[in-house]
Amino acid sequence: MNLDIKKFVPHAIALLLFIGMSLAYFYPVVQGKKMQQQDIIQYAGMAKKQNDYREQTGEELYWTDNAYGGMPTYLLGARYPHSYIKSLDRAIRFLPRPADYLFLYFFSIYILLLVMKVDWKLSILGAIAFGFSTYFIIILGVGHNAKAHAIAYFPLVLSGILLTFQRKYIWGFLLTAVAMSLEIMTSHPQMTYYLMLLVMVIGLVYFIDSYKKKEMPHFFTAVGLLIVAVFLSIGVNGTNLLTTKQYADWSIRGESELTIKPDGSKKERKGLSKEYITEYSYGKMETFNLLMPRFMGGGNTEDFGTNSEAYEYLVQLGVPAGSAREFVRYLPGYWGDQPIIAAPAYVGAVIIFLALLGLFLVRSRAKWWLFGGIVLSILLSWGKNLSFLTDLMLDYFPLYSKFRAVSSIQVVLELCIPILGVLALAYLFKKETVDKKKEATEKIILYCTVGFVVIVLALIAFKSSLFTFNGLNDDYYAYKFTQQGLNGQQFMEIIKEDRMAMLTKDALRALLLIVLTAGVLIAYLRKIINKNIVTIAIAALLLFDLVPIARNYVNTEEFVSKAQFDFPYKTLEVDKQILKDKGHYRVFEPRLRLANSRTAFFHNTLGGYHAAKPRQFQEVYDFYLDYDRKFEVNERNINILNMLNVRYIIKDLEGEQDQAGAGAIALKNPYPNGNAWFVEKVNFVDTADDEMLSLYGLNTKNEVVFRKSRAEEGIIKETYGKDSLANIELVDYKPEHLTYKSENEEHGFAVFSEIHYPHGWNAYIDGKLEPHYRVNYILRGMEVPAGKHTIEFKFEPTIVQKGITISLTSSIILFLLIVGGIYYEFWHKKKKKVTTE
């Protein structure tokens, strides 16, 4: 028993260390503070209504109308019954956010390295290199929590796969099923897709190796078990996947019905356009950012410091020192190919150097899939800068065209490089006997690698004049500086000098770190120091290398009190004014377009913030509402505003969102159509293009546009009657249940200012289910018989119940398999062993 306890002591130490590092890096969480993450601020606006509804009623809301006129909550944190995998996830992530994600980084890759038979001390090194990788910290800072969540489970999934290939079929199968369930549960399909690309590389390597060793039966057994495990994990997440798929097809990620853009040019119909997908393509030279954080100047805004040429220039102009210091904290450092970048994807000079050693020292199969993953990741991250490969993936690789920001595939290399670096150390440490020839080879490899890296870094540092340092947005910055009273062009030239200085400084920094790392390894090979000292020294170098860079972009200034976190948007006077109106209507804040959820936090609005916006709403917005930032009500947009029941337009909001906003005013629209109304004329059109274009100048109060393909010919008439007192009134409102009273002496056609969603909304007249249709491209319409009636719209998505059934069944199966597997591995095998003896 004592021996068994001693086995777990190192791992307990590692876990305590991971907890300590996570809390130390994000230490304000210990004081009860929370990180003010930009994407989470936006999420707070989008999810405000559903969260309030859940708190007030204890029920879950699957439809919300506070953004984009209305959308399902499936991708806004909807909670489903019997989601036991989420309970497991919460148990693993027991620390305060975002320390919980950092802990998960550490824990997950630690398990993977142990599975790869790496010593626990070196596994801790790998955890440090992986967890503090700059990009992984940056995404926590900006609030890409789902992305971080998915990445953190990458190593755990690989652990299960490798265990299976190690012939530990039961443990491998169970761990793969659980880890993959957790991975899918994070709801970031793009990251999971990139993991699957790496898994394909692993599969290819193992296939070749198994073929050479004549072990194909074992290979196919392992693959078969893994396929079953994946299918089981898909079932566990049935509700999440089914609802996401259904909504995604309806969102901008799905195929458009239009063939034209607002300017009349041809439109790409299959989901996202190539330009949109590859907008964030990594530059080929920008790849050096992995080794030197500010090779391309860092992020879009960098702190140039008081030693910069820009600071000296401002002081010489007579700018007070304090003001000059504040000004140079936010200068455009980045000069790469991407339009916006918060920070460089710095992996670390120390771990990259160790990984380079690993390419020459490591002899296992792991080297080949790690190397393959790194190369694939780099090539695909170049996007439009390596168009033939990108086009090949977009045209022929399933689902690849569903994801944008191709540069984010670098998460694969940010996983592979630390593993390869640690394997290099493990190889050096593994020698049991003295082999002078082997030692000589290792030294030659080490010296050659150091020499190569030193030459490259020295050339970059001392030949930096070879680069232009011209950024994609430099003309814009020059214009902005001119508006601020500076000579914009001259100031940009000074900024370019500082960019050059940054590159030189970071090249020398990387050179120093690599020389120190090499020195430690040389001392070990010469038997001057032992393994433990090497491990401690490398750990210190890793922390010194990675943590300060990450701190430059995510630091304690990002944390706020819980009260401020829970209510991130200040209620402006204009909001208070609008909220006095207790009716059911919409508010439009044109300045924010469809890229901010501030308005959605307080009102039902046309705006919002989401990566998968409702496609049809986005298209109407593009055609009729998004053509002038100043936005004036005119003949082009007034009918759109009216049919969407926009009662207030917030204009001229000045200053930041958390400031007074004294310039904001609420313009009241006197002509909204209301929540529902009767029309007299139905304009039939043949195509989606015709339907969209027909909205221009349409008298939406009396006419409606109806596409012929949506109903059998003859069911919908061209004209309908309404008496002088015909009326429809919303008498009871819940986001998922709308009740209207209608009165009309004639058989009429009613239009409702609610977004049409074909999956789950049912219409009832006097309790009887009746058909309703999509009209005016995005709204709901239906025939209403003459007389007085009660009309109800209920959101009753069958997909949710179907998914719950699948999830519950799959979870029960997985649980039984886990129990059975544990019984077999422990009690049955132990009993069998005793019987044999």
pLDDT band at 197 (very low <50, low <70, confident <90, very high): very high
- In this predicted structure, what is the pLDDT of residue 272? 65
Domain count, the chain: 3
- In this predicted structure, what is the pLDDT of residue 336? 84
Pairing of strands 703-707, 681-685: parallel
Which residue's entry shows tokens 């003309």?
475
- In this predicted structure, what is the pLDDT of residue 127? 96
Better-predicted residue by pLDDT, 71 or 396: 71
Whether 456 and 310 share a structural domain: yes
Instruction: Enumerate residues 6+ apart whose C-beta is below 8 A from 317.
Output: 486
pLDDT band at 263 (very low <50, low <70, confident <90, very high): confident
Q: Is residue 401 in a domain?
A: no
- In this predicted structure, what is the pLDDT of residue 406? 87
Residue 125 in this model has a pLDDT that exceeds 60 = yes
Q: Is residue 496 in a domain?
A: yes
- In this predicted structure, what is the pLDDT of residue 405? 84
Contact 322, 306 (CB under 8 A): no
Whether 474 and 623 share a structural domain: no
Domain end, chosen from 502, 528, 554, is at 528
- In this predicted structure, what is the pLDDT of residue 438? 65
Closest CA to 411 of 100, 111, 197, 612: 197
pTM, two decimals, is 0.87
Give the residue ranges of DSSP H helices in 607-709: 615-624, 638-643, 688-694
The 10 Å CB-count burial string (b at 16+, else e) for 385-417 is bbeeebeebbeeeeebbbbbbbbbbbbbbbbbb
Residue 436 in this model has a pLDDT that exceeds 70 = no
pLDDT band at 828 (very low <50, low <70, confident <90, very high): low
Residue 2 in this model has a pLDDT that exceeds 90 = no
Better-predicted residue by pLDDT, 440 or 376: 376
Give the residue ranges of DSSP H helices in 430-487: 436-462, 474-483
Whether 617 and 740 share a structural domain: no
- In this predicted structure, what is the pLDDT of residue 466? 75
Do you know the residue count of the chain?
Answer: 837
Contact 586, 599 (CB under 8 A): no
Tens-digit pLDDT profile for residues 504-520: 899 899 999 999 999 99
Rounded to an integer, what distance in angstroms lies between the CA atom of residue 527 and that of residue 700?
85
Q: Residue 815 is encoded by which pair of tokens?
A: 């649980």
Residue 716 in this model has a pLDDT that exceeds 60 = yes
Percentage, residues of the chain above pLDDT 90: 50
Q: Residue 767 is encoded by which pair of tokens?
A: 């309790």
Average pLDDT, rounded, for the chain: 88
Rounded to an integer, what distance in angstroms lies between the CA atom of residue 735 and that of residue 722?
28
Q: Which residues pair with 331 in a beta bridge?
A: 302
Q: Is residue 67 in a domain?
A: yes
Amino acid present at 640: I
Which of 60-64, 460-464, 761-765 comes out lowest in average pLDDT? 460-464
Whether 619 and 696 share a structural domain: no
Sheet holding 779-784, edge to edge: 676-679, 748-755, 779-784, 773-775
* DSSP state letter for 530: -
Rounded to an integer, what distance in angstroms lies between the CA atom of residue 738 and that of residue 794?
7
Whether 515 and 657 share a structural domain: no
Rounded to an integer, what distance in angstroms lies between the CA atom of residue 293 and that of residue 295?
6
Domain end, chosen from 618, 651, 672, is at 672
- In this predicted structure, what is the pLDDT of residue 71? 93
Whether 589 and 493 share a structural domain: no
Contact 169, 222 (CB under 8 A): yes
Average pLDDT over residues 807-817: 93
Whether 499 and 596 share a structural domain: no
Q: Is residue 185 in a domain?
A: no
Residue 742: its H or E element: strand 737-744
Rounded to an integer, what distance in angstroms lies between the CA atom of residue 807 and that of residue 456?
53
DSSP 363-425: -SHHHHHHHHHHHHHHHHHTGGGGHHHHHHHHHHSTTGGG---GGGGGHHHHHHHHHHHHHHH
Residue 836 in this model has a pLDDT that exceeds 50 = no
Q: Is residue 481 in a domain?
A: yes
Whether 638 and 680 share a structural domain: no
Alpha-carbon dihedral of residues 81, 82, 85, 89, nearest 10 degrees?
A: 50
Whether 695 and 620 share a structural domain: no
Tens-digit pLDDT profile for residues 340-349: 888 888 999 9
CB atoms within 10 A of CB 274: 17
Whether 441 and 476 share a structural domain: yes
Rounded to an integer, what distance in angstroms lies between the CA atom of residue 346 and that of residue 355?
14
Residue 456's Cβ-count burial label (10 Å; 0-12, 13-18, 19+) is middle
- In this predicted structure, what is the pLDDT of residue 547? 93
Residue 835 in this model has a pLDDT that exceeds 60 = no
- In this predicted structure, what is the pLDDT of residue 439? 65
Q: Which domain holds residue 789?
A: 676-796
Q: Is residue 815 in a domain?
A: no
Q: Is residue 443 in a domain?
A: yes
Average pLDDT over residues 51-74: 91
Average pLDDT over residues 793-804: 94
Domain end, chosen from 672, 699, 721, is at 672
Tens-digit pLDDT profile for residues 536-561: 999 999 999 999 999 888 877 778 77
Whether 641 and 784 share a structural domain: no
* DSSP state letter for 719: B
Q: Is residue 538 in a domain?
A: no
Q: Which residues pair with 71 in a beta bridge?
A: 64
* Strand ranges, E, within 437-590: 559-560, 586-588
Rounded to an integer, what distance in angstroms lies between the CA atom of residue 823 and that of residue 819?
6
For the chain, how far is it from start to end, CA to CA, in angstroms? 20
Whether 520 and 611 share a structural domain: no
